Structure formats: C-alpha cells, structure tokens
Amino acid sequence: MALVAASLILGGCESEAPNPPPSPEASGGTGSLEVRVKDHEDAIDRFLSLEVTITSVAIHRALAEREEGWRQLPASTTSVDLTELVGGPYEVIFDGEMESGAYDGIRLGVDAINGVLLDGSEGPVEPGEFEAFLRFDLSEDQETIALLDLVVLDVSEHGTVGFLLTLIGASLVWE
C-alpha cells in the first residue's frame, strides 16, 4: 500500500533544482554522495514523536534494468525522529564515496515505525520501501546531495485507521 501511494503522489512531483541529464558511462573514479531525509508538514503535528528505523538506502545505475542495477549504501543513521525534521532540518542517512557515473533512482527501506500521538497513545504507521526517480551524475569534482522528503498522512478519512508514511519527493541540493 505504501509503494502504491508513493508512486501516486510522486507522479506529480517536481524537483527543487533541475536534474542534469545523466551520462551512462562510469569514469572509473569515485564521487561523493550525501543522502538526507526531512519531513514534510502534514499529519506530523499529531505526534509527540515518530521514530523511523531505516534499514536500507540504495541508488540505481542509469540504463540498468529496474529490478537490477541497485547499489546498496550503508546507512550512517538508522533511526530518525521525523518530528524533529519538520519544515527545514534534515538528517544525513548516508555520506560517502560511490562509483562515479550516472544514476536515476533512489530507494529507502523503512523496517519499523514507532509513533506516539499527542495524547500519549500509539500512532499506527505502516513501514515500507519507498522509491523515487532522480537523475544525477556522481563526478569526481563535486559533492552530490540528494534530499528525500517524507510525509505522514492521516488515512483515517479513507476507511482505515492510522497513518501512512510515504516519500513525496526527491531532489538534488547545491550548497
């Protein structure tokens, strides 16, 4: 359900910055990649805390088959409280060197979510795997920063009880 909702929501998203067209060949060197997560305001204001356990981060090599071509990254942070990341702050979940070249996707795996609502009760949120299309080149002469924008949605109005975590956007950041 989370993947379906994420793909529906991502269909209309645009990046915050233009994505350069990828060049499919790797240069044989390495490039610096940083992956960040932040929280988009929506139903997060109903939570005292929303601890998300990140189990995997992966990037997809451009022009590779979609089911293949994923490069797993070791997550530098495995647990993030999304209530601390609303409206601007971010958490770095990967920072390291990767094979340079063109990439066209990013995937985030979330294994567990522990939410506490304002009244102290448990806020049920389903974990899942989230994927976004994001074209970028890793090159030896610059740092590439990918920002993943997560959002918690209240789905109780749709006949279910609880909340849904989804990825609403992925963009490149230049600093």
pLDDT for residue 104: 97
pLDDT for residue 76: 82
Look at residue 27 and tell me if it is in a domain. no
Look at residue 21 and tell me if it is in a domain. no
Q: Is the pLDDT of residue 52 over 50?
A: yes
Q: Is the pLDDT of residue 15 over 70?
A: no
Look at residue 22 and tell me if it is in a domain. no
Residue 161's pLDDT band, with cuts at 50, 70 and 90, is low
Look at residue 115 and tell me if it is in a domain. yes
Look at residue 155 and tell me if it is in a domain. yes
Look at residue 129 and tell me if it is in a domain. yes
Structure tokens at 161: 């009880």
Look at residue 70 and tell me if it is in a domain. yes
Look at residue 24 and tell me if it is in a domain. no
Pairing assessment for the beta strands 101-117 and 143-154 based on DSSP bridges: unpaired
Q: How far apart are CA 20 and CA 102, in angstroms?
A: 10
Strands annotated E in 21-100:
30-40, 47-61, 70-73, 79-81, 91-99
Q: Is the pLDDT of residue 73 over 90?
A: yes
Average pLDDT over residues 152-161: 80
Residue 145 lies in domain: 2-11+32-173
Domains identified in the chain, total number: 1
Residue 96's pLDDT band, with cuts at 50, 70 and 90, is very high
**pTM recorded for the entire structure:** 0.81
Q: How far apart are CA 16 and CA 136, in angstroms?
A: 13
Average pLDDT over residues 23-34: 73
